[in-house]
C-alpha cells in the first residue's frame, strides 16, 4: 500500500459520522497500512456464528456478525492485550451478551439483551469488583461497529512487535504529531511521520510505527523509560 492510499484521519472521521460500513472501511485500511491486509481467512464463518446463535438461543446483531466475519480471527486486531471472545465463548451475564474480556478478567464488554435486535447496538462495560453486588453494566460506545474499530486499532498498537512500544509518562508529545479525530472512549489519537500514537488519560502512550527509523525518532523526541526502547 502506498503512503497516499490510506488517510487515517479521514477514515476515523468517517466512522464517527457514518454507519458501520465506514467502521469496516477503517478496519480494512488500518490493517493493511499498519500491518497486513485482511483476507477471507481472517474471519469466522456464518456456520460458526449460526452455531453460537443456536447455543445461546438468540440472534446476534448484524454489526457483530460482520465484525467477526471480517477480522474476528486476527489476533493482532482483537487479542494483543484484551480478548475478543470466539463465537463458542460468547456468553450471557446479567442481562447482556459478553463479547470481550480484559486480559486478567478485570472487565468485560457486552451488548444488553434488550438491544440485540438493533443492527448496530450500543455497547456496555462492566468492571470486575471485589464487591460483586456493586457491579453494573455501564454505557460504553454508542455503536458496536465503533467499539470494534477502536478495538482493532488499539490492539494493534499493543501488539508484541518490534514496531510497537509503550511508555508510562505524564510528559508531552512532540508538536509534529497531529491530533486525530476523537474515536473511542477515553482515547486520544495522534499521527506523525510513519507513527501512530494512542494516549489513554494522562499516564501512558502506546505507539505503532511503520519503520524502525520512525520508532527511533519518536524515542528521541519523547525521552522516557520506553518498554522496548
Domains of the chain: 8-148 (3.40.1580), 161-221 (3.30.310)
- CA-closest candidate to residue 85, choices 52, 114, 55: 52
Rounded to the nearest 10°, the torsion over CA 28, 31, 32, 36 is -130
Residue 48 is predicted with a pLDDT of 98
- CA-closest candidate to residue 81, choices 166, 13, 139: 166
Residue 106 is predicted with a pLDDT of 85
What does 105-160 look like in DSSP terms, one character per residue?
SSEEEEEEGGGTTSSS---EEEE--SSGGG---EE--SSHHHHHHHHHHHHHHTSS
Across the chain, which has 229 residues, the per-10-residue mean pLDDT values are 74 94 97 96 98 98 98 98 97 97 90 98 89 85 97 96 91 88 92 93 87 94 86
Q: What is the largest CA-CA distance in the chain?
A: 54
Residue 4 is predicted with a pLDDT of 52
Helix (H/G/I), strand (E/B), else coil: 162: coil
Cell 493482532 maps to which residue?
A: 76
Task: Supply φ then ψ for residue 31, to 5 degrees.
Answer: -60, -45
**Could you count the other beta carbons within 10 Å of the beta carbon of residue 80?**
20
Residue 164 is predicted with a pLDDT of 96
Reported pTM:
0.93
> Using one digit for the tens of pLDDT, what is the confidence trace for 188-198?
999 998 999 99
Cα gap 7→33, rounded to integer Å:
10
Amino acid at each position: 500500500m502506498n503512503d497516499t492510499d490510506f488517510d487515517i484521519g479521514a477514515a476515523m472521521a468517517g466512522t464517527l459520522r457514518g454507519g458501520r460500513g465506514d467502521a469496516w472501511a477503517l478496519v480494512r485500511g488500518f490493517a493493511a497500512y499498519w500491518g497486513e491486509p485482511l483476507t477471507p481467512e481472517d474471519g469466522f464463518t456464518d456456520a460458526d456464528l449460526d452455531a453460537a446463535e443456536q447455543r445461546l438461543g438468540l440472534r446476534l446483531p448484524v454489526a457483530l456478525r460482520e465484525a467477526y466475519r471480517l477480522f474476528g480471527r486476527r489476533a493482532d486486531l482483537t487479542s494483543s492485550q484484551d480478548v475478543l471472545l470466539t463465537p463458542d465463548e460468547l456468553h450471557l451475564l446479567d442481562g447482556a451478551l459478553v463479547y470481550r474480556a480484559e486480559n486478567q478478567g478485570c472487565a468485560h464488554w457486552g451488548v444488553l439483551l434488550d438491544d440485540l435486535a438493533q443492527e448496530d447496538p450500543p455497547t456496555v462495560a462492566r468492571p470486575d469488583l471485589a464487591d460483586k453486588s456493586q457491579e453494573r453494566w455501564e454505557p460504553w460506545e454508542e455503536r458496536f461497529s465503533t467499539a470494534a474499530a477502536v478495538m482493532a486499532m488499539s490492539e494493534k498498537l499493543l501488539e508484541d512487535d518490534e514496531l510497537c512500544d509503550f511508555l508510562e509518562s505524564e510528559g508531552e508529545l512532540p508538536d509534529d504529531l497531529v491530533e486525530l479525530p476523537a474515536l473511542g472512549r477515553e482515547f486520544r489519537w495522534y499521527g506523525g511521520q510513519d507513527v501512530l500514537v494512542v494516549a489513554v488519560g494522562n499516564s501512558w502512550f502506546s505507539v505503532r510505527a511503520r519503520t524502525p527509523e520512525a520508532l527511533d525518532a519518536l524515542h528521541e523526541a519523547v525521552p522516557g523509560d520506553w518498554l522496548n526502547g
